[in-house]
Structure 1
């Protein structure tokens, strides 16, 4: 008899077919309040769970007594209580490698768009305001040769550093819990404190995960320490930023600009003051959103679940260390 798996996110047809070949699949591609009870009922007898975008904690999973593995179609595991799942010996599989380069592309796009005011000046042209040669009112800022400060020198941070160093001759400095000798050797990256990074960088680029320690790490005090010419870029997690403080910093030119792909609340509410500010570029959380990468993520997530339910946790297990303790 095939193991029972709950799918709560749409998959490409080929990957759905692979999943069905391996398991008895129950689909909830569009979870709403109306089918939450059915979802939890099916989950109570499931061996595996695969999907993304749904917070699942003890309240939802306590009754899933047969659950043996979870596979999330994402690199982030914010939706899960890893300590709780580890205590139950349930591995959480994720997709940390396949989206690295695409997300780094997105982050560097934010850097370029904010520095050269690309979105603002696109509107300038479309609205018929370009009636003569541009003046200082439309000037942007250089990217090449500037100092790029990266918070979180993991896979994505390193990929951003590579683009900055080799592509734009940027000086790289980073803040990370541990030293990254490879980044230091390849990009001339310098490990610095949080305070030194935000005080001396021209571009402050965060790819930090959300934890208790990073909750609203970028607050009023942090923005006040940045250069008035600095740009803040967030491609990590929205809740690492005190959004109200960022809005005030942008409104009063405490910093020059910002580029955001993540927010405290997503989708970004239409009432957010960020929307009315010209000196911020807003992306709708598109870090990995290309056809190729999203397909690769789905493929990786299916592989991860198959491997995990066969007892192989050697790749992409987010809580492997906790499980081995």
Structure 2
């Protein structure tokens, strides 16, 4: 029986590569070279599966892969998938849910503390030799403990953030498409409508997937409803927040600051005003960036692609592409 063929488009741990090799024939991108669209096209003419991170999967690419059955994202997000094109061409897509929840939640808590307590700003100032005796109020920040945490998007990561917030005695409020009564009981969280969360949160954590409905979910109107002393934390997807509106909100003092791991354009433009703001913590999309978690994500993605190719199904198939 002919073995399925997989194209590995991103570097993965040896264990994940060996797992795929046990079940499939495979080829790998030459990682000494810059990835190009034409280079990808040249490798996918006869493959059954593609293992990748963030590559745009649409009709323009898929038409060059007539045998393709599945694309496996080494990521929980899959806004790189053109779901309509994939459906139309009968290609399944998988992601890596669950693996990175705690790692991303750790980073979000770090953004909350760093932004509220001005840790990055104070670190830079100290290293610049600007610490002077008697400047007791120079870096007054905002208490994390007993403040109000607002979560927009109470999925697995949102719940993991709430669990950590309990240790800081934070008052947890949230908004979600569907109410999570079980999470309310376990975490002491209170459900509110969107406006109530915006108006009451000291730290507003945005943790929604990027869809047509959530694009620019946080815009000028929402930012104006927040407290002037509040902080916006985004570690979901950049376009969930209207960046132009956020910059205006920070420049004009509608909110106190922000902690960001994601941006509308990535990598973030070097001239982006957010990078010059002392009250904004800016990270290079490192939410899941620990060796252990990234290795586990690659293995989950490898298992998912093999499951689809061998059995036609996997728990990791994204909901919109799951066959009924």
The TM tier, using the shorter chain, reads over 0.9
Tell me the equivalent position of 1:287: 287
Tell me the equivalent position of 2:218: 218
Q: Deviation of residue 8 (structure 1)?
A: 0.6
Inter-CA distance 196–114: structure 2 relative to 1 (3 Å threshold): same
Superposed CA deviations along residues 103-143 of structure 1, whole A, max 9, x for unmatched, are 00011100000010000000121111112144223101101
Q: Structure 1 stretch 133-142 or stretch 206-215: which is displaced more?
A: 133-142
Asked whether the 8 Å contact 1:89–1:323 carries over to 2, the reply is no
Q: Deviation of residue 214 (structure 1)?
A: 1.3
Q: Deviation of residue 38 (structure 1)?
A: 4.0
In structure 2, C-alpha distance between the alignment counterparts of 1:135 and 1:223, rounded to whole Å: 31
Asked whether the 8 Å contact 1:70–1:305 carries over to 2, the reply is yes
Tell me the equivalent position of 1:199: 199
SS at match of 2:301: helix
Asked whether the 8 Å contact 1:201–1:230 carries over to 2, the reply is yes
Query: CA RMSD of the aligned region, Å?
Result: 1.7
Asked whether the 8 Å contact 1:9–1:29 carries over to 2, the reply is no
Superposed CA deviations along residues 84-118 of structure 1, whole A, max 9, x for unmatched, are 32343322111011100000001110000001000
Tell me the equivalent position of 1:101: 102
In structure 2, C-alpha distance between the alignment counterparts of 1:225 and 1:324, rounded to whole Å: 41
Asked whether the 8 Å contact 2:304–2:314 carries over to 1, the reply is no
Q: Deviation of residue 83 (structure 1)?
A: 3.0
Tell me the equivalent position of 1:125: 126
Which consecutive unaligned segments of at least 5 residues does structure 1 have?
A: none
Tell me the equivalent position of 2:151: 150
2:25 equivalent to 1:13: no
Asked whether the 8 Å contact 2:115–2:258 carries over to 1, the reply is yes
Asked whether the 8 Å contact 1:198–1:225 carries over to 2, the reply is yes
Q: Deviation of residue 40 (structure 1)?
A: 1.2
Inter-CA distance 271–183: structure 2 relative to 1 (3 Å threshold): same
SS at match of 1:324: coil
In structure 2, C-alpha distance between the alignment counterparts of 1:322 and 1:13, rounded to whole Å: 29
Q: Structure 1 stretch 104-113 or stretch 193-202: which is displaced more?
A: 193-202
Q: Deviation of residue 33 (structure 1)?
A: 7.4
Q: Deviation of residue 215 (structure 1)?
A: 1.2
Which consecutive unaligned segments of at least 5 residues does structure 2 have?
A: none
Inter-CA distance 63–140: structure 2 relative to 1 (3 Å threshold): same
In structure 1, C-alpha distance between the alignment counterparts of 2:36 and 2:288, rounded to whole Å: 29
Tell me the equivalent position of 1:310: 310
Q: Structure 1 stretch 115-124 or stretch 216-225: which is displaced more?
A: 216-225
4+ residue runs over 3 A deviation: 29-36
Superposed CA deviations along residues 242-299 of structure 1, whole A, max 9, x for unmatched, are 1121112112221011000000011111111111110000011000000110010011
Tell me the equivalent position of 2:188: 188
TM-score (normalised: structure 2): 0.95
Superposed CA deviations along residues 37-60 of structure 1, whole A, max 9, x for unmatched, are 342133121111111121111111
Tell me the equivalent position of 1:233: 233
Asked whether the 8 Å contact 1:52–1:72 carries over to 2, the reply is yes
2:309 equivalent to 1:324: no
Inter-CA distance 85–162: structure 2 relative to 1 (3 Å threshold): same
In structure 2, C-alpha distance between the alignment counterparts of 1:15 and 1:131, rounded to whole Å: 52
Q: Deviation of residue 220 (structure 1)?
A: 1.5
Asked whether the 8 Å contact 1:7–1:29 carries over to 2, the reply is no
